[in-house]
A and B are shown apart, each in its own frame.
Chain A
């Protein structure tokens, strides 16, 4: 993605007196739109998207009453027998959809924040958005008497509010006199610590049963999702994703560094603002939908960069990898494990070693 080689058409090549070293093949349409043709990111995107769809279908197929793949596909396009339709629409489809939506949203959010702050550690978890959502959610869960009758919808709603408010606070504090990636990340980390302390405080003061419930929520889970939650998270995430993708062309310039981006004529302030707001909404929506599933937002962009061989995470590819990772993890959580574990544990158990494997492989290759 960051590449100084230019896309050239055949005609340009011939016009030059000395042949250039082989450049990346380019594609230029009418002199306005030009791409560098890079097969690896495209292949990674397609494979990840296909894999995510496969996991999605498998997740619908498997269960106490297994369906065949044809039944799954028929039901998805609106046909199929009533029993299958009932099984799919009632329980399995919301969960499978939620996995895809949340995975993609978290990964895209992480890719945006990591690009803007130029720091691989930056992700919505680290900027405090997830823990801000957690504060209100844990408050509801540990003060059962106050709020027990609103927990079903109250927890997601409170999580959404908490995430958005925290994001707004971090943004407002960091945006003083122009957004600065360094300040953003330091303030985000501090706010994150504050929110974590509040959560820990509530956990310590609550009784052990409520602490257990809160701990379950804090790990992140996709079990028992309702259509309301899927719609809410899906709509919010989709709007934010469209906005982010609209600004993503400028993101490529931002990834080159602030000075270069300004030199290229990108309105840095506005681009950053739009992207960060989109990132906050994406993260808050997914925490509301599935709890603060750790690691997906951090690991997906990093894995994407390494698989695609690029130096900054592209948004769509990251989103596909995130959806792939979370759907796969949820499938493992649902079917392979003897005890049912929340999906947040599985993402870290699968994603952590995978990232380390990629790092080690990269190290070994570069030292050879």
Chain B
């Protein structure tokens, strides 16, 4: 396919698209390395870099009995909190970034994001109901409810919007998704207004935090996200064809229905698992594809990996910033993503027109 050349000739001035993409890739990877190091170094406990380094490899034991209590404590902090937290931010960020890029590609709408299929609100409603009816309190128990709620919502939206047709049209999908999203959010508010315990959980859920104090969350959600990423990357060539129009894609031998189903399945897995792991992290899925598209142009074979890297980087940086600005407490990453990301995004749009879909 020569979509690469066809889609972005005007961006090739000066130096080639390919070179720009490779440089962007290198910059993103370098930034991620820096962010990972910063994430390990920065936290509520002040630890020296060398202590962090040794703590990373030290086999820790229960507190109070260790020969070197300082190193032992450092090992506990680094290995049970900072490492999982860093991994979680990278994984969830890339899931939401790729989910957003897929949503925008499939709906051809620049403000589509994974929340639009009812995924985030489905998860929120499931969590609130679980608390209201079942008295569920532990985050690790939330995950399954959130994931099931997300999956049900997205299946309902996709099912409704494809009733009667062969494939869900992007416009119908968007509208049905928004309708269902508003409906679910109203139900969630109704429960939250009736029960202050649910409201309490909901407001923290809405804030979206990266809580790395448990490997269980990572182990539970990562398989879904990995499968979702694989499906998403497999969907990229078809998505390039679909963006020429459904009829053209069909004429070129693309099975449109299969491509749409595959893409939406990937979105559900990515956004559902990502949301289940960290709560509602708004805006990330919307902004990351725009930034990535600015670097790559609209070819999805490049756009999706870029979105994965940029999404992971953004969530990790937001988490680090959140740890730094509100010492000794911290600001939830979901809030930071919007507080930091939105002005940057506005600047990108304002200063230089973002690349259209």
A-contact 0/1 string along B50-81, CB 8 Å cutoff: 00000000000000000000000000000000
Residues of A within 8 Å of B162, CB to CB, are: 363
Q: Is A295 an interface residue (CB 8 A)?
A: yes
Q: Is B328 an interface residue (CB 8 A)?
A: no
**Closest partner residue, chain B, to A189 (CB atom):** B111
> In the complex, A211→B350 CA distance in Å?
35
Given A185-B110, A302-B175, 13 further pairs, Cβ under 8 A: A121-B178, A190-B283, A190-B287, A190-B345, A191-B346, A196-B338, A215-B203, A219-B186, A348-B182, A352-B183, A352-B186, A356-B179, A359-B172
CB<8 Å pairs between A and B, sample of 13: A119-B111, A185-B110, A190-B287, A190-B343, A204-B335, A212-B196, A212-B199, A215-B203, A298-B182, A352-B186, A356-B179, A360-B163, A360-B164
Total A-B pairs, Cβ < 8 A: 177
B163 touches A193 (CB 8 A): no
B342 touches A190 (CB 8 A): yes
> In the complex, A203→B165 CA distance in Å?
43
On B, residues with C-beta under 8 Å from A are 109-112, 116, 160-166, 169, 171-172, 174-176, 178-180, 182-183, 185-187, 189-190, 192-194, 196, 199-200, 203-204, 206-207, 282-283, 286-287, 290, 331-332, 334-339, 341-343, 345-346, 349-350, 353-354, 356
B109 touches A121 (CB 8 A): yes
> In the complex, A176→B351 CA distance in Å?
9
A193 touches B207 (CB 8 A): no
Residues of B within 8 Å of A204, CB to CB, are: 203-204, 207, 332, 335
Given contacts A121-B174, A173-B346, A212-B199, A193 and B190 within 8 Å (CB-CB): no
Residues of A within 8 Å of B185, CB to CB, are: 294, 348
**Closest partner residue, chain A, to B346 (CB atom):** A190
A143 to chain B, nearest CB (A): 16
B345 to chain A, nearest CB (A): 5
A186 touches B110 (CB 8 A): yes
A187 touches B193 (CB 8 A): no
B13 to chain A, nearest CB (A): 20
B186 touches A200 (CB 8 A): no
A200 touches B203 (CB 8 A): yes
Identify which of residues 205-255 in chain A touch chain B, using a CB-to-CB cut-off of 8 Å.
208, 211-212, 215-216, 218-219
Residues of B within 8 Å of A198, CB to CB, are: 339
Task: Determine which of A182, A197, A216, A302 lies in contact with B110 in the assembled complex, contact meaning CB atoms within 8 Å.
Answer: A182
> In the complex, A351→B196 CA distance in Å?
26
Task: Determine which of A119, A347, A349 lies in contact with B187 in the assembled complex, contact meaning CB atoms within 8 Å.
Answer: A349
Residues of A within 8 Å of B207, CB to CB, are: 200-201, 203-204
Residues of A within 8 Å of B342, CB to CB, are: 190-191, 193-194, 197
Residues of A within 8 Å of B343, CB to CB, are: 190, 194
A356 touches B160 (CB 8 A): yes
Given contacts A203-B203, A356-B176, A186 and B338 within 8 Å (CB-CB): no
**Closest partner residue, chain B, to A128 (CB atom):** B342
Identify which of residues 18-60 in chain A touch chain B, using a CB-to-CB cut-off of 8 Å.
none
> In the complex, A352→B166 CA distance in Å?
23
> In the complex, A288→B349 CA distance in Å?
30
